[in-house]
Structures are given as C-alpha cells and as structure tokens.
Homo-oligomer: A and B are copies of this chain.
Amino acid sequence: MRIPYDELVAEFNRVLIKKGFDETDALEAAKIFADNSVDGVYSHGVNRFPRVVSYIEKGYIKPDKKAIRVGGSGGFERWDGQLGMGNLNAKRCMDRAVELAGEYGVGVVALGNNNHWMRGGYFGWQAADAGCIGICWTNTMPNMPAWGGKDRRIGNNPFIIAIPRSNGEHVVIDCAMAQFSYGKIEECRLKKIPLPVVGGYDSNGNVTTDPAEIEKTWRVLPIGYWKGSGISIALDLVATVLSGGLSVTAVGKKCEEEYALSQMLIAIDPRHVAAQNISDMLINEVIDDIKASEPATEGGKILYPGEPEILTRRDNLANGIPVLEEIWAQIKAM
C-alpha cells in the first residue's frame, strides 16, 4: 500500500504526542521519519517507527530531554543529547553547525549521549538545503569484526557527505562502513537470493554472497576489507574524543540496545569563498562527465550520489509512500 506524505506525518505526530512529546517536537520528528521514507530509506523511516516507540516506552529515549551545549568555543562545540529523541537532537545540532559555519566559515558540533539518529543522510540534505557542505557520521553498537578478527567489536558507522546545488538536487553520499546492512542481508535471505557482491564470511572462513551463511557467523565485511575497518575505527574515535560520549566499545558494554551514541555534525559554508552559481558550474561539469561514462551494461545509466533518492522522492511524493501493511496496522493501533 502507498500512503500520502501528509497522512504519514499525521500518524507519527499523533503517536509521538501520545508518548509524551510536545507539539513542536512531535511534528518535527514526525516529518523526519516521513522524509526518510519519502527518500526511499524505509528502514529508517516508517519501518523503524515501532522500534523507536518501544525505546520511548523502555525509557531509552526521553521525550522531554533536548541536546544542550556543554563546551567548546569558536566554530567547534560539544553538545550533550541527554538521551532525547535522536533525530531531533541531531537536526538541531546540524542547524547549530550551519549557524556556526555562517559565522566562522566552518561549524563542528560533536554530540554525545544521543539516541539513534535514524538516517544520517537526512542531516546531509539539511545542511545542503541551507547552502552548506555537510559532513556527518555516527557511531553504533559493535556490529562488525575489526579486520583480522572474528567477533563483532567495531561499528558500521554511517558516513555522509553532502554538497549543495542551487536547484536542490544536492550531491549526497550516505553509506555505512559495512558492505551490507543487517536488514539487506535478511531481505536477501527471505527472498532466497544471493547478495549482489560478497558481504561476509561463511563458517569455513571464506567470503560469500550467501545471506544465510553470513547470518550464521555474523562476520560481515567492511567496505574495502581492511580499509573500511580502519575508517570505522577512526570515525568512532573522533566522535568519542570530541563528544566525550560513548565509543562503539563502550556502547557495547554499557547499553542493552543501540542508544547513547556519539555523532559528528560538520557544516562548511562555501559562500565565504564562492557564489553558488560558480559552485553549480563546477559541480555540473563533474556530474555531466560522470554521466557520459561508457555504461558497464548495455543501456545502463550512471547516477550521481543522491540521484536515486531524488528520483524516489519524486515518485513517492506523487504516488504515496510504500508502506508494509503489517507495520502500518501496528502504527495505527498505537
């Protein structure tokens, strides 16, 4: 079934008010959940909503708490999320980073003690909508082995870079440091299809595209093997040191589920050095060149990062957002 955007927002809003959020916060959070689904990231939009509600009920997410500034100076600030709503806190910290970038050219907010921010790409698009380059990442539960190890000790730490274009069709890369999410692996197993490329190890220690085998070992592959493992560790340490919050290691030791994370929100304002039309021209030259590639498959199209989301967004706003009936019934009953 496909639900119109406004109906999705209204339902999320209703439930969040019932769960203790004030009207402003409930509506703002509801829109973020809906926007994530509009862009096609259902796993961190409507499909994630029931789990978020359960986290509110368990007390992991505190509806009456908001991120507050606890340190820093100039363009760099440390904030404490106080275990408030993850996506709201992150959005406000990216707003703050953009504000700092307006003043200092660059703004960095390290946000500790925050809940899951859902889809990291949201905050990249947010920075780009404000005319800024956005760079952000979060740490996670330990969910991937470090390179050379077998047991899960590092995170799949999503990493986002967004570059603004004046037509709103920003270039945004949003990817986790694991080759595949747990959700994708499960989806392929249920559909009985292999992963498109190797995504982890089987019980014999060989890399495989078989989702069921990977689910046995949970040895998922980092992007670029040793490279993604190293990037993941470095991203985690930067967020931890700057926010003073929990590392992936500490989240694994101290939390029953995935909460109290450390996140980085960075904005750089290119308007300090260039007019948007000059930036647009530079960006268009690159995009036009990439799209002129000889396609790897006959008739294939080369998309730039962010373009798939833009195409999905158009379709979903026109035709409604695809929602699993079961999940929708669950939300309606809340």
Residues of A within 8 A of B (CB): 71-78, 101, 103-108, 110, 133, 135, 145-151, 153-154, 159, 161-163, 171-173, 175, 179, 197, 205, 207, 219, 223-225, 227-228, 230-231, 233-238, 240-242, 244, 247-250, 268-270, 272-274, 278-279, 282-283, 285-286, 289-290, 292-297, 300-305
A210 to B: closest C-beta gap in Å: 17
User: Which of B77, B110, B234, B250 contacts A173, CB < 8 Å?
Assistant: B234
Q: Are A296 and B238 in contact (CB under 8 A)?
A: no
The copy count of this chain in the complex is: 2
In the bound complex, CA of A145 to CA of B107 (Å): 33
A290 to B: closest C-beta gap in Å: 5
User: Which of B148, B175, B274, B289 contacts A249, CB < 8 Å?
Assistant: B289
Q: Are B250 and A285 in contact (CB under 8 A)?
A: yes
Q: Are A148 and B105 in contact (CB under 8 A)?
A: no
A105 to B: closest C-beta gap in Å: 3
Q: Are B224 and A179 in contact (CB under 8 A)?
A: yes
Q: A106-B108, A163-B241, A300-B148 are in contact. Are A173 and B230 (CB under 8 A)?
A: yes
Nearest 10 CB-CB pairings of A with B: A223-B224, A76-B105, A149-B293, A74-B104, A230-B305, A161-B234, A173-B230, A249-B289, A74-B105, A148-B302
A81 to B: closest C-beta gap in Å: 15
Q: Are A269 and B149 in contact (CB under 8 A)?
A: no
Q: Are A286 and B236 in contact (CB under 8 A)?
A: yes
A70 to B: closest C-beta gap in Å: 8
Q: Are B233 and A228 in contact (CB under 8 A)?
A: no
Q: Are A228 and B224 in contact (CB under 8 A)?
A: yes
Kindly name the residue among A154, A224, A236, A294 whose own CB sees the greatest number of chain B CB atoms within 10 A.
Answer: A224
* CB nearest to A242 among chain B residues: B270
In the bound complex, CA of A234 to CA of B273 (Å): 19
* CB nearest to A135 among chain B residues: B238
Q: Are B105 and A73 in contact (CB under 8 A)?
A: yes
User: Which of B75, B225, B293 contacts A146, CB < 8 Å?
Assistant: B293
Q: A234-B305, A293-B150 are in contact. Are A103 and B76 (CB under 8 A)?
A: no
* CB nearest to A110 among chain B residues: B273
Between-chain CB contacts (< 8 Å), 29 pairs:
A73-B272, A76-B101, A76-B105, A76-B272, A78-B273, A106-B106, A106-B108, A133-B242, A145-B293, A146-B293, A149-B290, A150-B295, A153-B292, A161-B234, A161-B238, A162-B234, A171-B233, A171-B237, A173-B233, A175-B231, A205-B296, A219-B296, A223-B225, A223-B227, A233-B290, A240-B286, A244-B282, A248-B286, A249-B285
